[in-house]
Structure 1
Amino acid sequence: MDPRTSAQDVMRCDLCQTAVVQMHCDTCLINLCKACVGEHTMSDEASKKHEIVQFKHRKSTPPYPRCTSHDKEQCEMYCNLCNVPLCTACIASGSHTAHKISQILTLYDAKKKEIEGENEEMETSIYPIYQDIVSDVQNRMTQLEKEYGDLSTVITKHGEDWHRIIDKIVQNLKAEVDTMKSRHYDIFKKHLAEINLRISEIKEEIQASFKILESNNISQLLQFNGKIKEFKKFPHKLEVLSPHFTPMQCQEEEFLKQFGNLSTLSFSSEEHGYNIKKEQKSPVIIIPKVKQLLKKSETVSTIDTEYSLLFGVTLLSEEEIWTRGYVNTMKLYSISQGSLLKSVRTKSENIPDDITVTSHGHLVYTDPTDRSVNVVMDGKIETVIKLQNWIPRGVCSTSSGDLLVVMNSDDKKQAKVVRYSGSKEKQTIQFDDQGRPLYSLEDNKYISENKNLDICVADLGANAVVVVNHAGKLRFRYTGHTPAPKTKLFHPRGITTDSQSHILTTDYDKDCVHIIDHTGQFLAFIDCELRCPWGLCTDTNDNLFVAQVFNKQVKKLKYLQ
């Protein structure tokens, strides 16, 4: 094996290229063995004073690049006209006599400051604006449900004043509204995707800049050209005008042409809709850290509960979790102490089917026997949703403050997900684009909202996790992974998501948790000696809490780095 080319070999002397490095010349920035120190210092004794130190005590000055024209010579100067490093032999040759020559370390320092300045501007000025753009577009997308819902209500009310013969016209107009709403949403979705792509490019550019700054490689640093000018060209601000309905009063015989009409869906793109705010102080931006899965998940702690059967867990704070079991009482436990802090009995004395916590810290539970969804505030229970002919099952609180409730019909012939703002129904998700049911007719279903606003349902009857986007369009179905820990069907129960938009669901019969990404790709199993896992939740640090049915324990697990 050639010691000079072996990737496993130690550093060798730059002169003899065989002996192990022991010393270093801080003047010439070369590595030496003890035997070559004398030869090096005598090579040009009169012209240079060599500072020889032990290799481990060498200065942190970056190494000069080697000259490509004169072997073994290092370049301490730089030709600004030719854009090449120069050694003393290059300068003595006279080929750069009329050119502007600079010290290479001076250029190195100037280039480093330039990149640092661009990084600071992107982090504190440009990146925040892109985040604001995303927030602005998402907020306007959220308003679409209300705008189009109000529009449909106006049309319906006006239609009720007319004879049954115009019902078909009403339905056609409402269908046109739905089509416009879908197109309206798609316009924003496409716009948002373009902005998110640009944000990803900015993150990559910042990481590349940091990497080049940390590399201490002069050649790479001098050749680095940032893309800051490209990122300063902000996207056009998209403006889409929602249609409106103009009712018309007319005689019955004229209703066909005078009932009313919808304005067309229109939008515009404003080039200077987003700008850098000159006079504001830019906040310090922390780029979300990408976390990797641990090779083996770890058990952090175990909390013993007092249930006969434990089914659910949801996070109240970094120190407290709510739990539910096969009793009519929900219990709050300390995570660090494992002690019982509070108990709340259901309003109807029935057993709750699912629990969640709102952004305001209020406990919410579903009561399938009472057909209600209830919130606990200041020790009092208020029924916020009362259903007829439908039975509520899983519930979750969304990032916008809405409640998502998955439910079955009394006759067990239908299942759907409904979004509520308070007690007002905002959205119903029941069928795919071909009119087929999205969810099974079985009772057990649990629900969670992902960070990308996807709606994720663990559907036991379908042996699948069903994921739709914010508008209710089917994205994918996850039906398990092969090989699985045990040769049984996939039986998902509890479901939750984390900061990385991973979807986690318990597999009750296989004593494990499946982790899939936001596209439905399987990533890993978590077992950690779980026994009949059911409910799930995560905290802000991506710790996972798993409720185990028969041993009545909540396990706190670490699965991300």
Structure 2
Amino acid sequence: MATTSDEQAAGQHYLVCGIQDCQRNGQFYCNDCHQPMCEQCKDEHRKSPNNKNHDIVLYRQRKHRLPKEKCKLHPTKNVDIFCRECNTPLCLKCFLGKEHKGHEFDDLEEIYAEKYALWQGEFSKIQKYFLPRSEDLKTDIKEDVTEIKKIMECIRTSMKTEAESLKNLVDEVTSEKIKHTHTMEKSLLQMLKSQETTYNDYIKYLGKMSEKFQEYLSTTNQKLLSSKVLKLKTIPETSKPVPPVFTPGQFNRDDVAKILGILNIPNTEPEKRKIQPMEAVSTPMKFTEKQMEQSKEKSDTKQTLSLSSSVTKVREYSVPGVNNAFHVSADKSGRLWVSDWRGNLVQTDLQGNLLQKIQTSGEDEGYHTATQDGGLIYTDRDKKKIYRITPDRKITEFIKTGDWRPVSVHSSRINGDILVGMREAKVTRYSKTGKEIQNIQRDNQGQELYKYPHYITENTNGDICTSDYDKDAVVVVNKSGQHRFSYTGQGSEFCPYGICTDVLGHILVCDFVSDTVHLLDQNGGFLSIILSEQQGIKRPRGVCVDDENNLYVGQHDTNTVTVYKYLE
């Protein structure tokens, strides 16, 4: 795309003043002379009586110069006048001609400047709003593609599991029915055997009677006449067995399909993709200087912070209502939620005063998490439920986890999603409204990722980090659930407990074996033992980092929570 000389000048290191040989920064612009000016030349320019009405502005607020264009009727003259009546550009000679006498005119340069500013604004909208938002929506679609593929794969797996379960039931019922046929057959054969025995006995009886009759027939007439008349027993009556009849089950393909579940798309209105409104793009320009400074400080935090050469103890909290501190959550107000291994979950203020106490079934697990709105989410593994506590201390049942026992939970600072570690074992992601959106169980080779993810957190890049008690490892997957790495400590034994991350992407994890806190980089590389008995920590079990980058540490044998500074 072609560029004007002014635009080329704007791309230089700084704009050169256009007055004679002045080489100073031309930060101002005379819209009448079409020249950049430094501050000194601007003042001199205004002193001249000929220039006192000149419009001098900041360079970026300048009017763009009308491009030179020759008149079609007068090729030696430049077009610089616009006739409103004829809606056409004119040169001076056209303006003075009879054809446009009595017409109304405008300065073509003014019209050009207005049009230029208008189209420049539209161009800016394309670059700053429409293109970025469209790219965001494309990214959103790609994420949906990945999510749909995962969901469909989960559905296929569920279908196969259902089919296998049905097959097993069919085999079990068939086996029982066949066993019953053997029992029926045995009973019928026993009945027939008994009937056969009856006739065998009767035949024997007939044989004996035949012998007697033959004996009588061989005697003299006088003896035959004097003998008693023998009566024969009648033939015993028996019944034919009634064989069982098998009636085939009355089912068809549709019946089997219903048994195996129904797959359909819910009849709900699709949620429209969120498009950031145009106003939101320009909102930062309306910030006060103080707000801009605060925003800049926040955005620059990551660049300015670094690991301190030493860890400094800041303060301590003695937490009432708990025997020890296996897990710590700090909310935005600085108040603490602390839990012990007996299921006591308490909230304290900045002075350590007890504000709230809840009895749960939790033990040495990270079963609570502060939310972005100042509330808390906690799990009850025995009830297989997840509860929400609002900032005004109202407790509501939030999620039912079915057959899975939730033991650890984390509320994402990135998007508000809820990550839950399940005992049996998997990690489930729920939306902030409680909708199940992801299950993570196996790696690409089909191997189980988890055994007992009793603490869970999320890193700044979206990685999901869990302490797995039974695997003796920190297991880290990316936000899509793909296994990234597992950290197994620095010695022969390692047993991870509380885990958290900081604004620099570090992973901090407590080791039950060495009673220390390990500091890892975002890729699982070991950096240092950040806390040990040398810093007054004896048996660290729970850790968290607040918005001020303070590190809170809870211990096994005391209800004291200690706060440290390790970033500067």
TM-score (norm 2): 0.50
The answer (yes or no) to whether the contact 1:507–1:514 under 8 Å persists in 2 is yes
Are 1:516 and 2:529 an aligned pair? no
Equivalences for residues 39-188 of structure 1 within 5 A: 102=21, 143=144
Structure-2 change in CA distance of 1:280 and 1:428 (3 Å): closer
Displacement after TM superposition at 1:466 (Å)? 1.1
Give the equivalent residue in structure 2 for 1:450.
Answer: 459
Query: SS of the residue aligned with 2:548?
Result: coil
1:293 paired residue among 301, 307, 310: 307
Structure-2 change in CA distance of 1:384 and 1:133 (3 Å): same
Structure 2 counterpart of 1:460, which letter? Answer: Y
Equivalences for residues 417-456 of structure 1 within 5 A: 417-421=427-431, 422-440=433-451, 442=452, 445-456=454-465
- Paired with 2:430 and 2:482, the residues of 1 have a C-alpha distance of 18
Displacement after TM superposition at 1:352 (Å)? 8.2
Displacement after TM superposition at 1:560 (Å)? 0.8
Structure-2 change in CA distance of 1:131 and 1:507 (3 Å): farther
Query: SS of the residue aligned with 1:470?
Result: coil
Displacement after TM superposition at 1:559 (Å)? 0.9
The answer (yes or no) to whether the contact 2:449–2:475 under 8 Å persists in 1 is yes
Which of the pair is proportionally richer in helix?
2
The answer (yes or no) to whether the contact 1:149–1:426 under 8 Å persists in 2 is no
Displacement after TM superposition at 1:532 (Å)? 0.9
- Paired with 2:325 and 2:309, the residues of 1 have a C-alpha distance of 29
Are 1:479 and 2:488 an aligned pair? yes
Give the equivalent residue in structure 2 for 1:534.
Answer: 541
Structure 1 counterpart of 2:430, which letter? Answer: Y
Mark the runs of 5 or more structure 1 residues left unpaired by the alignment. Answer: 1-79, 84-99, 118-124, 168-250, 261-272, 410-414, 482-486
Are 1:314 and 2:329 an aligned pair? yes
Give the equivalent residue in structure 2 for 1:550.
Answer: 557
Give the equivalent residue in structure 1 for 2:318.
Answer: 304
CA offsets, 1:392-413, max 9 Å, x none? Answer: 111111232221111122xxxx
- Paired with 2:128 and 2:356, the residues of 1 have a C-alpha distance of 45
- Paired with 2:307 and 2:37, the residues of 1 have a C-alpha distance of 37
Equivalences for residues 327-406 of structure 1 within 5 A: 327-335=342-350, 337=351, 339-346=352-359, 353=365, 354-377=367-390, 378-398=392-412, 399-406=414-421
Q: Based on CA coordinates, which of the two structures has the bigger radius of gyration?
A: 2
2:508 paired residue among 496, 504, 509: 504
- Paired with 1:391 and 1:279, the residues of 2 have a C-alpha distance of 44
Structure-2 change in CA distance of 1:152 and 1:469 (3 Å): closer
Structure 2 counterpart of 1:428, which letter? Answer: N
- Paired with 2:130 and 2:499, the residues of 1 have a C-alpha distance of 34
Greater CA deviation, 368-377 or 452-461?
368-377
Mark the runs of 5 or more structure 2 residues left unpaired by the alignment. Answer: 1-8, 13-18, 29-35, 40-58, 61-125, 167-252, 258-262, 264-274, 286-291
The answer (yes or no) to whether the contact 2:509–2:543 under 8 Å persists in 1 is yes
Give the equivalent residue in structure 2 for 1:60.
Answer: none
CA offsets, 1:10-30, max 9 Å, x none? Answer: xxxxxxxxxxxxxxxxxxxxx
Structure-2 change in CA distance of 1:513 and 1:155 (3 Å): closer
Structure-2 change in CA distance of 1:293 and 1:278 (3 Å): closer
Displacement after TM superposition at 1:371 (Å)? 2.4
Displacement after TM superposition at 1:101 (Å)? 9.3
The answer (yes or no) to whether the contact 1:493–1:534 under 8 Å persists in 2 is yes
The answer (yes or no) to whether the contact 2:324–2:560 under 8 Å persists in 1 is no
Query: SS of the residue aligned with 1:400?
Result: coil
Query: SS of the residue aligned with 2:485?
Result: strand
Are 1:465 and 2:469 an aligned pair? no
CA offsets, 1:216-262, max 9 Å, x none? Answer: xxxxxxxxxxxxxxxxxxxxxxxxxxxxxxxxxxx99xx9xxxx9xx
CA offsets, 1:169-223, max 9 Å, x none? Answer: xxxxxxxxxxxxxxxxxxxxxxxxxxxxxxxxxxxxxxxxxxxxxxxxxxxxxxx
How large is the Cα RMSD of the aligned pairs? 4.9
- Paired with 1:467 and 1:111, the residues of 2 have a C-alpha distance of 59
The answer (yes or no) to whether the contact 1:531–1:551 under 8 Å persists in 2 is no
Displacement after TM superposition at 1:495 (Å)? 0.9
Structure-2 change in CA distance of 1:303 and 1:134 (3 Å): farther
Are 1:525 and 2:529 an aligned pair? yes
Query: SS of the residue aligned with 2:415?
Result: coil
TM-score (norm 1): 0.51
Structure 1 counterpart of 2:498, which letter? Answer: G
- Paired with 1:374 and 1:279, the residues of 2 have a C-alpha distance of 37
Give the percent of matched residue pairs that are identical in Structure 1 and Structure 2: 29
Give the equivalent residue in structure 1 for 2:341.
Answer: 326
The answer (yes or no) to whether the contact 2:333–2:374 under 8 Å persists in 1 is no
- Paired with 2:561 and 2:550, the residues of 1 have a C-alpha distance of 12
Displacement after TM superposition at 1:341 (Å)? 3.6
- Paired with 2:471 and 2:377, the residues of 1 have a C-alpha distance of 26
Structure-2 change in CA distance of 1:112 and 1:321 (3 Å): farther
Structure 2 counterpart of 1:396, which letter? Answer: H
Structure-2 change in CA distance of 1:470 and 1:111 (3 Å): farther
The answer (yes or no) to whether the contact 1:501–1:518 under 8 Å persists in 2 is yes
The answer (yes or no) to whether the contact 1:145–1:427 under 8 Å persists in 2 is no
Structure 2 counterpart of 1:369, which letter? Answer: D
- Paired with 1:396 and 1:278, the residues of 2 have a C-alpha distance of 30
- Paired with 1:466 and 1:153, the residues of 2 have a C-alpha distance of 22
Give the equivalent residue in structure 2 for 1:74.
Answer: none
CA offsets, 1:441-464, max 9 Å, x none? Answer: x4x621111121111111232222
Structure 2 counterpart of 1:373, which letter? Answer: I
Structure 2 counterpart of 1:501, which letter? Answer: G
Structure-2 change in CA distance of 1:558 and 1:373 (3 Å): same
Query: SS of the residue aligned with 1:438?
Result: coil
Structure-2 change in CA distance of 1:372 and 1:426 (3 Å): same
Query: SS of the residue aligned with 2:504?
Result: coil
Structure-2 change in CA distance of 1:376 and 1:478 (3 Å): same
Structure-2 change in CA distance of 1:140 and 1:302 (3 Å): farther
CA offsets, 1:86-144, max 9 Å, x none? Answer: xxxxxxxxxxxxxx99566668999999xx98xxxxxxx98999987886566556655
Displacement after TM superposition at 1:303 (Å)? 0.7
Displacement after TM superposition at 1:313 (Å)? 0.5
- Paired with 2:417 and 2:524, the residues of 1 have a C-alpha distance of 25
Query: SS of the residue aligned with 2:421?
Result: strand
Structure-2 change in CA distance of 1:108 and 1:315 (3 Å): same
- Paired with 1:130 and 1:496, the residues of 2 have a C-alpha distance of 36
Equivalences for residues 215-234 of structure 1 within 5 A: none
- Paired with 2:552 and 2:131, the residues of 1 have a C-alpha distance of 34
- Paired with 2:132 and 2:523, the residues of 1 have a C-alpha distance of 23
Structure 2 counterpart of 1:494, which letter? Answer: G
